[in-house]
Amino acid sequence: MQRQESVAYFSVDFGDKDIILRGKSYPKGTFATEMLNTDRDTVTKLLSAGAPIFQIFQDLIGGKFSEESFDESKSAILNLTELLFRQKLFLVLDIPTEIERIDKMFSEDSKKLLVLFHRAKLQLQVEQQLGKQSELTEEGRELLFFGERLMHDYIEMMRFYTYAPHDIANFLNAILNLEREKISTLKKRDESNFAKVYDDFFSDEVIRIGLLAQQVTPMIAGYNTRPAMQTEYVSLVRPGKRQQHILARRIYFCRIMDFLVADFCEGLHVGHSPKQCEICQRYFLMTNGRHQKYCNGYAPGDKKHRSCRTVGSRIARDNRERSKDHPAKVEYRKRCNTVDHHLREGKIDARFACKVKELAKEKMYRAISDNEYFLNLYQAEMQQKAIYKEAEELLK
Ligand SMILES: [Zn+2]
């Protein structure tokens, strides 16, 4: 029987530069990069919401089960998913199917079956220890068969929600460090350089120990350089070409870390990497090697609701204008040349020359920062006659 896809088990089709997730295409690296924008507070809340699940999960794999712990796990999972399903990656997954799956798992019928199954299993164990071999009734066999299956699904569900918060936290720790220490310092952002720094980073023993120390618990594996993936090759129609089929790679994931690692590395492979926007400080996916400083999102606090890119290019233009090419500077240099010339010819003295230059500099700075002044008054005030007159007045 094929396992139904949901949040805890989903497939992704990997193309050349994009992935297709639930019918929508995204550049490789999109989700790994977006995950880097999860704030610390959210991570802490996710981890604490996941803590009771972790505890019950450990009991379960140790063979412990009770009605109370089952009820507890239900409220813990509802509590965690409340928060988890608001995160960007989850919003694109099949949340309705997952909610249905959770409801079914924690129904009264399921609880009854699990309680009976657990009791029967314990009794069998006791009998085995005593060397008794009692014949199972048809009903008893059915109970063991369906109970075993449901218990397996229950444990798998608990495993997924135990790992999810830790996977987010551990992925963030690793990749934020990699980005800050290695990727952001690269002069050339291409696959070759990404591959080199990725390998340097994850094969460094000191870094590995540092990352492990940042994990909430060493019991849950951290960043995994060998993600678990189940691959299927599927025949798909080439987009836009109905007659042509392609054999695409479909990958199934049952752990968030595995998907994030695959998305991130496949992204690096095609030259996609996370970059921090200089305006809003959020990470965005850079899909070419050119150094792009700003993202396409809305700039926080900008009254005109412009994007970071628009605000950024405005700032860059202002900076350019402030540089030596600004027309106000050209005018200023011209005036200083006249002053130097007149000083050499003896037409003015050094004190006067100094005053004129000082005045000209003040006006030049004002013209650069105040466009209205530059357009209306600057030219006239910088005329040789006008500025000499002003200096004379001041020196009186
Ligand atoms: Zn931005």
> How far is the centre of ligand 1, averaged over its atoms, from the C-alpha of 186 (Å)?
20
Residue 289 three-state SS: coil
Q: What percent of the chain has pLDDT over 70?
A: 98
- Pairing mode, strands 10-14 and 18-21: antiparallel
Q: Select from 173, 174, 171 the least CA-distant residue to 257.
A: 171
The band of 244, judged by pLDDT with boundaries at 50, 70 and 90, is confident
Cα(222) to centroid of ligand 1, in Å? 29
In this predicted model, what pLDDT tens digit does every residue of 66-113 receive, in sequence order? 999 999 999 999 999 999 999 999 999 999 999 999 999 999 999 999
CA of 37 to the centre of ligand 1 (A): 11
Q: How far is the CA of 310 from the centre of ligand 1 (A)?
A: 10
Ligand 1 centroid to Cα of residue 281, in Å, is 6
Q: How far is the CA of 32 from the centre of ligand 1 (A)?
A: 17
**Rounded distance, CA 355 to CA 361, Å?**
10
CA distances for 220 relative to 158, 169, 212, angstroms: 13, 11, 10
Q: Locate 190 and state its tokens.
A: 């291409």
> So what's the pLDDT on residue 331?
87
Going from the Cα of 188 to the center of ligand 1, the distance in angstroms, rounded, reads: 22
pLDDT at 293 over 80: yes
HEC profile of 61-105: HCCCCCHHHHHHHHHHHHHHHHHHCCCHHHHCCCHHHHHHHHHHH
pLDDT single digits (tens) 319-342: 766 665 677 888 898 899 999 999
What is the percent of the chain where pLDDT is above 90?
69
pLDDT at 109: 97
What is the distance of C-alpha 75 from the center of its chain? 28
**Which pLDDT tens digit goes with each residue over 131-159?**
887 778 888 899 999 999 999 999 999 99
Range 350-375 average pLDDT: 88
Q: What is the pLDDT of residue 379?
A: 87
Measured in angstroms, how far is the CA atom of residue 327 from the centroid of ligand 1? Answer: 31
Mean pLDDT, the chain, whole residue set: 91
Q: What is the dihedral of CA 118, 123, 128, 133, to 10 degrees?
A: -120
CA of 238 to the centre of ligand 1 (A): 34
Distance CA 66, CA 307 (A): 54
- Find the 292 Cα to ligand 1 centroid distance in Å: 11
The stretch 36-52 carries a mean pLDDT of 96
Contacts for 216 with CB less than 8 Å, ≥ 6 apart: 47, 166, 169
Q: For residue 299, report the distance from its CA to the centre of ligand 1, in Å.
A: 6
Look at residues 259, 260, 261, 228 and name the one whose alpha carbon lies nearest to residue 10.
Answer: 259
pTM of the model: 0.78
Q: How far is the CA of 27 from the centre of ligand 1 (A)?
A: 18
Q: How far is the CA of 83 from the centre of ligand 1 (A)?
A: 25
CA of 272 to the centre of ligand 1 (A): 17
What is the per-residue burial (b if ≥16 Cβ within 10 Å, else e) of 133-167? eeeeeeeeeebbeebeebbeebeebbbbbbbbbbb
Cα 249 to ligand 1 centroid, rounded to whole Å: 33
Q: Where are the domains of the chain?
A: 10-247, 323-395
Query: Distance from the CA of 315 to the center of ligand 1, in angstroms?
Result: 13
